[in-house]
């Protein structure tokens, strides 16, 4: 049976060029700053994101946690969306390990945070009853809202709001290169108004492991300490960094193929009466849809497609997510649409 895995772009396998680079990587002890391949990846990453420095971490969750630890102190408050990955899917690390207070505001359907909502959430300084607001976290692309892309003008406006109140901004840019490709805008433009940003190597860029955190030299120096604290000090990490260098050289432009496949998938699903989908939200490589036919429960629908070899994730009741990525072809998309049609017709 043909298997098409659309659960996440984290299921990608490294390319042959990555495997070769990993095998041949020049290595050293990165905790001592002596791994030349890691050093090169960090230099290239900083240049690509328009920052002074960068730091390789094992995951996006670690990058986000380290960034929040640098930007805040215990009991300080962080404003983020109620659908933020950092809020929903990172095990409460900001509170559990950093002692931070999380203040959520509603994510809008386009993935943004309403600027009036953000400003209203900022605590008045000097009041001893309140935690101190220190940081705003945004996500680009916004996973739970369907891979929506934050416009450049919006990010600039949020940055201006933060500066007005002497706050910092961290961007969870796990899929920032998807946003860059979707908008046709250089990634460094999308990050020019934030104080730190991370991106994942292990999602659409197809590396086996890794995330890179970017910011000023002072920020990264402190981030390096916190990375060590949370167990992220790696030794001969050049075997991982080598794949990251290949990814930045070869895998960014091809993200457009994933976006095109997601659009084909979404448009095909939109033609099926049992499915409800907002095509306007399909802006990158994520497709979120809802099954509206009363013939299906969440579990029944999910199981029926799994039995046919189509793997994907449940978001909420009757809502599901498909993610296109390296390894998924236009032919795979056509096959998935045929299987969806067969399953839905069988329920009539």
CA distance 20 to 245: 12
Residue 147: CA atoms inside 13 Å, Cβ hemisphere, count?
34
Q: What is the pLDDT of residue 347?
A: 76
At residue 324, the 3 state secondary structure works out as coil
* Residues in Cβ contact with 332 at an 8 Å cutoff, skipping those fewer than 6 apart: 4, 261
The torsion region of residue 146 among left (phi > 0), alpha (psi -120 to 50) and beta comes to left
Can you point out the beta strands (E) in the chain?
4-5, 53-57, 77-81, 101-105, 133-139, 168-172, 196-200, 211-215, 275-276, 286-291, 310-311, 313-316, 319-323
What's the order of all strands across the beta sheet hosting 168-172?
Answer: 53-57, 211-215, 196-200, 168-172, 133-139, 77-81, 101-105
Q: What is the pLDDT of residue 203?
A: 97
Per-residue pLDDT of the chain (348 residues; tens, 9 = 90+): 899 999 999 999 999 999 999 999 999 999 999 999 999 999 999 999 999 999 999 999 999 999 999 999 999 999 999 999 999 999 999 999 999 999 999 999 999 999 999 999 999 888 999 999 999 999 999 999 999 999 999 999 999 999 999 999 999 999 999 999 999 999 999 999 999 999 999 999 999 999 999 999 999 999 999 999 999 999 999 999 999 999 999 999 999 999 999 999 999 999 999 999 999 999 999 999 999 999 999 999 999 999 999 999 999 999 999 999 999 999 999 999 999 999 998 876
Q: What is the pLDDT of residue 348?
A: 62
No. of helices (H) and no. of strands (E), the chain: 14, 13
Domains of the chain: 12-250 (3.40.640.10), 254-346 (3.90.1150.10)
Q: What is the pLDDT of residue 126?
A: 87
Q: What is the pLDDT of residue 187?
A: 97
Kindly report the number of other CB atoms within 10 A of residue 61's CB atom: 21
């Amino acid at each position: 049976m043909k298997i098409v895995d659309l659960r996440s772009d984290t299921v990608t396998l490294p390319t042959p060029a990555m495997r070769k680079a990993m095998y041949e990587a020049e290595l050293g002890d990165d905790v001592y700053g002596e791994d030349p391949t890691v050093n090169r990846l960090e230099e290239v990453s900083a240049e690509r994101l328009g920052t002074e420095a960068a730091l390789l971490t094992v995951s996006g969750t670690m990058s986000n946690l380290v960034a929040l630890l640098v930007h805040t102190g215990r009991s300080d408050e962080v404003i983020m969306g109620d659908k933020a990955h950092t809020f929903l899917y990172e095990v409460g690390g900001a509170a559990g390990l950093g002692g931070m207070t999380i203040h959520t505001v509603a994510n809008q359907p386009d993935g943004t945070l309403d600027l009036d909502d953000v400003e209203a959430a900022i605590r008045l300084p000097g009041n001893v009853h309140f935690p101190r607001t220190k940081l705003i976290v945004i996500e680009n692309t916004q996973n739970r809202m369907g891979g929506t892309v934050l416009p450049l003008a919006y990010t600039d406006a949020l940055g201006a709001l933060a500066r007005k109140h002497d706050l910092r901004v961290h961007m969870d840019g796990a899929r920032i290169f998807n946003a860059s490709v979707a908008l046709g805008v250089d990634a460094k433009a999308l990050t020019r108004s934030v104080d730190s940003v991370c991106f994942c190597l292990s999602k659409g860029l197809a590396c086996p492991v890794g995330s890179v955190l970017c910011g000023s030299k002072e920020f990264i120096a402190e981030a390096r300490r916190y990375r060590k604290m949370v167990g992220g000090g790696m030794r001969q990490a050049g075997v991982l960094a080598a794949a990251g260098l290949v990814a930045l050289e070869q895998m960014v432009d091809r993200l457009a193929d994933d976006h095109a496949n997601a659009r084909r998938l979404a448009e095909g699903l939109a033609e099926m009466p049992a499915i409800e989908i907002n095509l306007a939200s399909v802006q990158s490589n994520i497709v979120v849809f809802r099954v509206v036919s009363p013939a299906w429960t969440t579990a029944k629908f999910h199981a029926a497609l799994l039995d046919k070899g189509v793997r994907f994730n449940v978001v909420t009741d009757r809502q599901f997510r498909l993610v296109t990525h390296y390894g998924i072809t236009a032919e795979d998309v056509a096959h998935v649409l045929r299987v969806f049609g067969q399953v839905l017709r069988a329920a009539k």
